[in-house]
């Protein structure tokens, strides 16, 4: 299986209803039309303790909490200076809150000011992220795209001439999708590595929890709704709505299930240590690495979803044996990534 759009960001944007937006913002970053706005960015720097090591530039743009944590994880282990670009409305993480920050005036000035030898991003279509990846080509700067979540064929294409830092060989192959200008590096997931060192030793009492996500951006609503409804017909569950299921149709569906006797768990609440069933939520994989019984369920699941289940070792609801996610690496991923970034010459 490969990415639907392994190279063409414009086509990927169109699929995500972002037609033309990133291109306009990139032109503005390079001195384009004055009436086009780009997200403001600030620069915060953490001095290193090794003057012989080139600095690393980390771009924090359009990130959820998991992605933010993944990009910040290597920082304590880096010997060289670290420059962090915080873009737009992205909240300033705690690790950078006490540092002085200065506004960034375009890509050229940013590269000149930092003298970075390596650039680390989460990929994606953000104008600062894409712009930096394009700007450093031919400048002797190494770029790295860190996998920060589960990969599907709908993931955005990687920038040109970069190295993708992936969780597994299978994830790396999907992200690369046969491209010869992309290198791969497999180190595992920092978050999953940490969770694997905090195993659940005893399950709590109570019925299993069904994780529902009706307003899924990748699955048709009828499939996501059928997954939750069919699971509840075949078992006794507490039902936890997804925190993003705030639209009227989703709320009406949950209210109907509540009236029919389903016990609803507060969206976003911490999950108890009980068996879990869901479709493709990050919590399923995170619970599985801690030893919690986990199953996936979606009758009529498309091939890409079944591929995701197989890559992450998820067992289907009703099958025997536990889900078996990929074994965590022996070495902490953040330290491996830091050594690689520090080693750029």
> pLDDT per residue over 286-323, tens digit each?
999 999 999 999 999 999 999 999 999 999 998 888 89
**pLDDT tens per residue across span 93-137:** 888 989 999 999 888 888 888 889 999 999 988 899 999 999 999
Residues whose CB is less than 8 angstroms from the CB of residue 292 and which lie 6 or more positions away in sequence, other chains included: 200, 203, 273, 274, 275, 276
Q: Which class for 317: exposed (0-12), middle (13-18), buried (19 or more C-beta within 10 A)?
A: buried
Least confident of 36-40, 147-151, 167-171: 36-40
Q: Mean pLDDT across the chain, nearest whole number?
A: 90
Residues whose CB is less than 8 angstroms from the CB of residue 36 and which lie 6 or more positions away in sequence, other chains included: 24, 25, 27, 28
Q: Please, how many CA atoms are within 13 Å of residue 157, restricted to the half-sphere of its CB?
A: 20
pTM equals 0.91
Distance between first and last Cα of the chain? 35
Please tell me the total number of residues recorded for the chain in this structure.
Answer: 345
Question: Which domains can be identified in the chain, with CATH numbers?
Answer: 9-193+331-342 (3.40.50), 209-311 (no CATH)
């Amino acid at each position: 299986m490969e990415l639907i759009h392994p190279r063409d960001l414009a086509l990927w944007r169109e699929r995500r209803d972002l037609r033309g937006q990133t291109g306009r913002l990139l032109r503005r970053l390079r001195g384009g039309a004055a009436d086009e706005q780009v997200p403001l960015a600030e620069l915060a720097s953490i001095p290193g303790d090794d003057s012989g090591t080139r600095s690393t530039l980390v771009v924090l743009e359009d990130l959820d909490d998991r992605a933010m944590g993944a990009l910040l994880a290597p920082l304590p282990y880096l010997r060289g200076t670290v420059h962090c670009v915080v873009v737009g409305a992205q909240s300033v993480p705690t690790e950078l809150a006490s540092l002085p920050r200065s506004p960034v005036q375009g890509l050229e000035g940013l590269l000149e000011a930092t003298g970075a030898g390596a650039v680390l991003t989460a990929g994606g279509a953000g104008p600062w992220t894409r712009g930096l990846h394009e700007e450093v080509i031919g400048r002797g700067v190494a770029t790295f795209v860190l996998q920060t979540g589960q990969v599907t064929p709908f993931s955005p294409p990687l920038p040109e001439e970069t190295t993708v830092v992936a969780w597994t060989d299978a994830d790396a192959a999907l992200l690369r999708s046969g491209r010869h200008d992309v290198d791969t590096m497999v180190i595992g997931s920092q978050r999953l590595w940490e969770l694997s060192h905090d195993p659940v030793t005893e399950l709590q009492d109570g019925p299993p929890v069904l994780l529902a996500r009706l307003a899924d951006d990748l699955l048709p609503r009828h499939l996501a709704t059928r997954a939750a409804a069919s699971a509840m017909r075949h078992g006794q569950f507490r039902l936890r709505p997804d925190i993003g299921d705030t639209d009227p149709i989703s709320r009406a569906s949950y209210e109907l299930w509540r009236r029919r006797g389903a016990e609803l768990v507060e969206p976003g609440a911490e999950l108890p240590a009980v068996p879990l069933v869901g479709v493709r939520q990050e919590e399923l994989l995170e619970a599985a690495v801690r030893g919690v019984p986990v199953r996936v369920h979606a009758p009529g699941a498309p091939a890409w979803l079944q591929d995701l289940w197989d890559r992450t070792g998820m067992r289907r609801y009703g099958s025997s044996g536990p889900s078996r996610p990929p074994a965590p690496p022996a070495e902490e991923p953040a330290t491996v990534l830091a050594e690689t970034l520090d080693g750029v010459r």
